[in-house]
Chains A and B, each alone.
Chain A
Amino acid sequence: MTELTSQEQATLDAIAAATSLDALEEQRVAALGKKGWVSLALKTLGQMSPDERKEAAPAIQAVRAKVADALDARKAALEAEALEAQLASETIDLTLPAPDMPKGSIHPVSQVMDELAEIFADLGFAVATGPEIEDDWHNFTALNMDENHPARAMHDTFYFPDAAPDGGQMLLRTHTSPVQIRSMKDQGAPIRLIAPGRVYRSDSDATHTPMFHQVEGLVVDKGIHLGHLKWTLETFFKAFFEREDIVLRLRPSYFPFTEPSVEVDVGYSNEGDRRVVGGHGDDDGHDWMELGGSGMVNRRVLEMAGVDPDEFQGFAFGLGIDRIAMLKYGMNDLRAFFDGDPRWLAHYGFSPYDQPTLSAGVGARP
């Protein structure tokens, strides 16, 4: 027994001192291997008498268990040390930049067009489109501007040398109003639609570009009057700017395609160098800003579009999309809209996930 005890102590000391898995394995073989001293001691049990065995077996088994436990414990410790050392060697500098994931962006004009579609869908307006290269019949004549109408000259029209099929001239539409004509011809009345899109005027300075975006609105039904027009624009602007304090001012004006014609102003105030819509334009620190033209559709226009003006009447309006986008989102340079500069697009563009919805607010939150 003393021999066993001293062997056990020697082995445990050696295990504790082992600094590698190989050294540990050596100790395992020396103790628990086939010819290890513990295994050999176990083999002596077979030659013992039952009484001797009864006394000796537990002692030997206890030694075996002790040695095995010590081996396991030391192995785990050594492995942990090794892993720690390995991990330590694998340390990387996480202040280094990760690969760039290009973000992508939606242009403000598209974003605002989506907002328009969303708001007006709630009011029952569909979205209509039409060609940008038009004939003068759809762009002018059908809108009550015959060839000699002085208002034609005010449109700064881009013309093509090409003749239209019916003999008129081809041109770039100067407004989205031809879509009114096309839609009424196609669908008749009643009708509610908006028609956003590109329009063109031969005009270029700090605040005008030869191409810009307009949205047309048209409602033709029975009993529609100026009060409905006012409500529709008010309701739209309240939803678009998400403010209840929008005040509109209607001013008499003149457009050949509407009668009566009204210009729409909105009250605003200046905050710093930025115009903020809201409030009454005559209040202190406020003023009026022109937003667009509108009016009751001229009966001649209804006639030309094939709608019976004695049965139906309605209103139409036109707003500058770029302009209301600038007012809402704070851009100050229209020319930058058409430049394709990624720095500008990253700043003023929108996340593809900012899909306008009524429940989240049609406006994209910063």
Chain B
Amino acid sequence: MKFSITWLKDHLETEATLQEITDCLTSLGHEVEGVEDPAQKLAGFTVAKVLTAEKHPDADKLQVLSVDTGEGAPLQVVCGAPNARAGMKGVLGQPGAVVPSNGMELRKSAIRGVESNGMMCSVRELELGEDHDGIIELPEDAPVGHSFAEYHGSSPVIDVAITPNRPDCMGVYGIARDLAAAGLGTLKPIATPSFDASGSCPIEIRTDDPEGCPAFYGRVIKGVTNGASPDWLQQRLTSAGQRPISLLVDLTNYLMLAFGRPAHIYDLAKLSGAVVARRAKDGEQVLALNEKTYTLDESMVVIADEAQVHDIAGIMGGEDSGVQDDTTDVLLEIAYFDPPRIGVTGRKLGLASDARTRFERGVDPAFLQDGLDLLTGLIVELAGGKPSEAVQAGSPPSEAKAVSFDPAMTAKLGGVDVPADEQKRILESLDFSVDADWKVTCPLRRHDIEGPADLVEEVVRIHGLDKVESVALPRMDGVARPTATAQQALERKLRRAAAGSGLDEAVTWSFLPGDAADHFATGDQALWVLDNPISEDMKAMRPSLVPGLLLAAKRNADRGASGSRLFELGRRYFRGPDGMSDERPTLGVVLAGEKTPRGWASGKASSFDAFDAKAAAMTLLEAAGAPVGNLMVFGEAGEQFHPGQSATLRLGPKKVLARFGMLHPATLKAFDMNGPVAAVELFLDAIPAKKAGKGPVSFARPSFTPPALQAVTRDFAFLVPADLAAEDLLKSVRGSDKANITGARVFDIFTGEGVPEGKKSLAIEVTLQPHDKSFKDADLKAIADKGVAAAAKQGAELRG
């Protein structure tokens, strides 16, 4: 909300400086978002008198003026305004001044060959209004040579953010009241111009919806003269950022901006029959003042006559009955509407207005008749007319809330000691009344006060939050105890393990383009898709971490990066059985582009392969504490992956801990990426949690002594069926003598000459670990025989 200091001083008697005022507003909770001093914009513009005006020798529409600036010889100024004439006073911008409307710096120049030493300005050029028909004409008594800003009464404009709980401060008067309570000055009483109301209101006013519109006050004024508002009014509205429209409209805006009291004025000539607050009928339409037509429903309150709806109650008036320049007879409306209903209506219609902002937060129920009289008085004073007596249909809420308050509460909750009598003074300065038993009665306008905590806030706010001293939280004895849960500890460790293995951690959006999300959707679950996405690219919650990383890798490739090795630790979003979300912690990895650049040693660049993905999956699963020794390699990584170069890592057939491999060419095509790209996804929720024992953590490990005797290795070459998984052979061999065989690994795979069709040669190295005594030849032969026999069950035959 914006207002000028001049306006504030209409209501607050104060000697405070601008700085003191803004500091105080901030400390009261009215955040100052900006201060604009129009005088700065008007620097260099002065009051000047036109001494002579001659026709320009070379231009029909220009005149050459001689202008008295108040000092030195008169200046010659070329001017195109039709109203420029000898003897008038106006505003001169001299060289060096900057025109507010366009930011141009004025310079001495020649216009059609005639020297010009400045510019006589229009209202629009100085951003004082819209008028651009001619230059500003100042009264006879304007002091020549004086700063125009000062003469004009420009005053700094403060922009404050009013929090939604304080509709009482959505008017300058309310702000003045708060400042006065904080000791910055004295609040002036509201000056209502006197008027004589006579005769009953010639039009019936009533409310047929006491719930939606508990009170509808009004009166008719006949014989008004609408027109332009006086300067003081225009200046105030302009400082608030409102465009002056016409006296009657400006006065309703003034009432709202100065006193937080929205009002509406109808052109009586456009009304027929009783004017009634009622519920709209379903489908009823109204053309609002913003020239849009709204279709209403029966939850909404309207003001209507016998013919049509004239006002979406509390939100916006109707176009058909609004006042015009030639309006002479008017009906004033000051009503009280049920705040929540205004909010609902506004949201349904998608219609925001200054009136709605105030009504939905709650206007002052005690300021209906006073507001009506104030508006009447101002109209009569400025626009003439004969007011009727007022009509009060219904009644606004009148029961003041009373709160039993204990002044000790201020220290208990607010942490600051404020003497009880000072607390009383503060509350009373805000129009609360406090009785001897500390029963505090709230002014009706303070809809935000619910209980003692709100009163503590009022006291502390006015007393000064800066007086709250820091008090240490009680601390547990000794060194702080660990707080991380097992899952948190796991994620922290895993993240650093991933970065330690050369991956860059990315944080990508939780939402994806719809097609990208669909491509990675799994199972029969519907994705979470936003109703109101900010763009089509941020629409569906990710079912996988791979697509977001893939999009990042794609951006990187487009920027010329040779490769991306990215990981992200975040959530995938699924649906829980109860309709809530099921968010699963996940680690995704994407390895795209070059693994190593072409180099002097090897020549060619290398790209990532499925074993890079497998290495990442295994390393990270191990870091996450998964039992990697027990994992089984299965297929079915998902259709996003290359069917022959991807796998899952499982504990048992159903428990999938990770998937990895090369992405399917169709996936790459869908993401418009060049391949190959490897990807990994670790499903952290599937990793079995370590059993936490009761009592203190046991840090001791199982006892272990490295075997004293040296291990020996033996090599075997087997011919096996070409489609036999190497792991199956190794597993058989390892299993053949678990006591003595501590390892078996493939060191060569060969097909081709010497290997029969349908077979491959697998060479494995078996590690044998003696325990008490060294192996004898017979021992070694027996172990080897067992291994070969076990291998034979997989269709493996020892190569001769």
Chain B residues with Cβ below 8 Å from A337 are 507
- Which residues of chain B from 394 to 442 have any CB-CB distance to chain A below 8 Å in the complex? 411-416
Cα of A345 to Cα of B166 in the assembled complex, Å: 45
Given A161-B531, A251-B26, A254-B163, also A226-B416 (CB < 8 A)? yes
Find residues 128-187 in chain A having any chain B CB closer than 8 Å to their own CB: 131-135, 148-151, 153-154, 158-165, 170, 172
Q: Does B200 contact A (CB under 8 A)?
A: no
In the complex, the chain B residue whose C-beta lies closest to that of A157 is: B532
- Chain B residues touching A, range: 35 or more
Report B672 CB to chain A, min CB distance, Å.
Answer: 16
Say whether A126 faces chain B, with CB atoms less than 8 Å apart: yes
Q: What residue in chain B is nearest A190 (Cβ atoms)?
A: B474
Q: Please, how many angstroms separate the alpha-carbon atoms of A332 and B426 in the complex?
A: 44
Q: Which residues of A from 242 to 257 have beta carbons under 8 Å from B?
A: 249-254
- From residue A167, how far is it (CB to closest CB) to chain B in Å? 10
Q: Say whether, besides A125-B483, A132-B571, A164-B580, A260 and B470 are in contact (CB < 8 Å).
A: no
Asked if A202 and B457 make an inter-chain contact with CB atoms under 8 angstroms apart, the answer reads no
Name which residue of chain A comes closest to B352, CB basis. Answer: A153
B73-102 contacts to A (CB < 8 Å)? none
- Evaluate whether A226 and B165 lie within 8 angstroms (CB atoms) in the complex, with A121-B480, A296-B453, A340-B549 already known: no
Q: Is B564's CB under 8 angstroms from A342's CB?
A: yes
CB distance from A109 to the nearest CB of B (A): 5
In the bound complex, do residue B457 and residue A160 qualify as a contact, i.e. CB atoms below 8 Å apart? no
Contacts of A97 in B (CB 8 A): 599-600
Of the stretches A28-36, A46-54, A76-84, A230-238, the one at the interface is A230-238
Contacting pair A148 B343 (CB below 8 A): yes
Within the complex, the shortest CB–CB distance from B414 to chain A, in Å, comes to 5
Alpha-carbon gap, A158 to B541, bound state (A): 12
Given A223-B412, A346-B504, residue A341 in contact with residue B495 (CB < 8 A): no
**Known contacts A251-B26, A251-B31, A342-B564: does B534 contact A204 (CB below 8 Å)?**
yes
Residue of B nearest to A342 (CB): B504
**B564 and A124 contact, CB distance less than 8 A:** no
Verify if B644 is at the interface (C-beta below 8 Å from A): no
- Complex Cα distance, B578 from A200, in Å, reads 23
A124/B473 contact (C-beta < 8 A), A97-B599, A164-B580, A355-B496 known: yes
A165 / chain B contacts, CB cutoff of 8 Å: 578-580
**Across the interface, which residues of A come within 8 angstroms of B28, CB to CB?**
252
Contacting residue for A132 out of B485, B500, B510, B533, CB 8 A: B510
- Taking the complex as formed, is B497 at the interface, i.e. its CB lies under 8 A from any CB of chain A? yes
Contacts A133-B573, A340-B556 given: A106-B505 contact, CB under 8 Å? yes
Shortest CB–CB separation between residue B773 and chain A, in angstroms?
44
The distance in angstroms between the C-alpha atoms of A258 and B26, with both chains bound, is: 19
* Interface residue? A100 (CB, 8 A): yes
The answer to whether A228 and B415 touch across the interface, beta carbons within 8 angstroms, is yes
Number of interface residues of A (CB under 8 A): 96
A298 to B534, CA, bound (A): 32
Decide: B499 and A352 in contact? CB cutoff 8 A. yes
Q: A154-B164, A226-B413 are in contact. Are A339 and B552 (CB under 8 A)?
A: yes
User: Is A259 in contact with chain B by the CB < 8 A criterion?
Assistant: yes
Q: How far is the CB of B493 from chain A (nearest CB, A)?
A: 10
Give the chain A neighbours of B508 by CB distance below 8 A.
Answer: 338, 340
Does A250 lie within 8 Å of B484, measured CB to CB?
Answer: no
Decide if B164 touches A254 in the complex (CB within 8 Å): yes
- A110 at interface, CB cutoff 8 A: yes
Q: Which residues on the A side are within 8 Å of B538 (C-beta)?
A: 210
* Contact across chains for A260 and B413 when beta carbons are under 8 A apart: yes
Among candidates B460, B470, B499, B531, residue contacting A106 with C-beta atoms closer than 8 Å = B499
A102 interface contact, C-beta 8 A: yes
Given contacts A158-B530, A231-B471, A340-B552, contact A121 B483 (CB under 8 A): yes
Binary A-proximity of B543-570 (CB < 8 A = 1, otherwise 0): 0000001001101100101001110011
Contact status B453-A259, CB under 8 Å:
yes
Whether B671 sits at the interface, judged by CB under 8 Å, is no
Distance of A224 Cα from B164 Cα, bound (Å): 26
The answer to whether A132 and B499 touch across the interface, beta carbons within 8 angstroms, is: no
Q: In whole angstroms, what is the CA distance A164 to B576 when docked?
A: 11
Contact A349 B504 (CB under 8 A): yes
Nearest chain B CB to A239 CB, angstrom units: 12
Question: What mask results when residues 477 to 518 of chain B are scored 1 for a CB within 8 Å of chain A, else 0?
Answer: 000111111001000100111111111111111110000000
The answer to the question of A262 belonging to the interface, with a C-beta cut-off of 8 Å to chain B, is yes
- Chain A residues in 8 Å Cβ range of B492: 114
Q: How many angstroms between the C-alpha atoms of A114 and B481 in the bound complex?
A: 16
Q: Cβ of B497: which chain A residues have Cβ within 8 Å of it? A: 352
- Does B681 interact with chain A (Cβ within 8 Å)? no
Query: Is A11 on the interface with B (CB-CB < 8 A)?
Result: no
Interface: A99 (CB within 8 A): yes
A127 near B460 with CB under 8 A, answer no
| A residues in contact with B357, CB < 8 Å | 150
How many angstroms from the CA of A231 to the CA of B415 in the assembled complex? 11
Give the chain A neighbours of B541 by CB distance below 8 A. 133
Bound together, the chains give a CA A124 to CA B506 distance in angstroms of 30
Question: B225 CB to closest chain A CB, in angstroms?
Answer: 39
Q: Which of A224, A230, A260, A340 contacts B555, CB < 8 Å?
A: A340
Alpha-carbon distance between A159 and B534 when the two chains are bound, in angstroms: 11
The reply to whether B480 and A148 contact each other, CB–CB distance below 8 Å, is no
Given the known interface contacts A124-B476, A341-B555, A342-B504, the answer about A105 and B457 at a Cβ–Cβ threshold of 8 Å is no
B70 cross-chain contacts in A, Cβ below 8 A: none
A349 and B568 alpha carbons, distance in the complex (Å): 13
Q: How far is the CA of A4 from the CA of B692 in the complex (A)?
A: 91
Given contacts A104-B502, A153-B347, contact A253 B31 (CB under 8 A): yes
Instruction: State whether B465 touches A250 (Cβ < 8 A).
Output: yes
The proximity string for A residues 6-38 relative to B, scoring 1 for CB distances below 8 Å and 0 otherwise, is: 000000000000000000000000000000000
B741–chain A nearest beta-carbon distance, Å:
35
Residue B149 lies at the interface, judged by CB distance under 8 Å to chain A: no
| Separation of A320 and B538 alpha carbons in the complex (Å) | 21
10 A-B residue pairs with Cβ-Cβ distance under 8 Å, sorted by A, are A104-B504, A110-B505, A124-B475, A127-B488, A211-B509, A235-B472, A259-B456, A260-B457, A300-B450, A352-B499
The 7 A-B pairs at the shortest CB distance, nearest first, are namely A340-B552, A252-B29, A227-B415, A102-B502, A254-B163, A133-B581, A260-B457
Known: A127-B488, A227-B470, A355-B496. 16 other contacts (CB 8 A): A100-B597, A117-B483, A123-B480, A127-B484, A150-B343, A153-B343, A170-B580, A223-B412, A225-B415, A259-B450, A340-B564, A341-B559, A342-B504, A342-B565, A343-B561, A353-B500
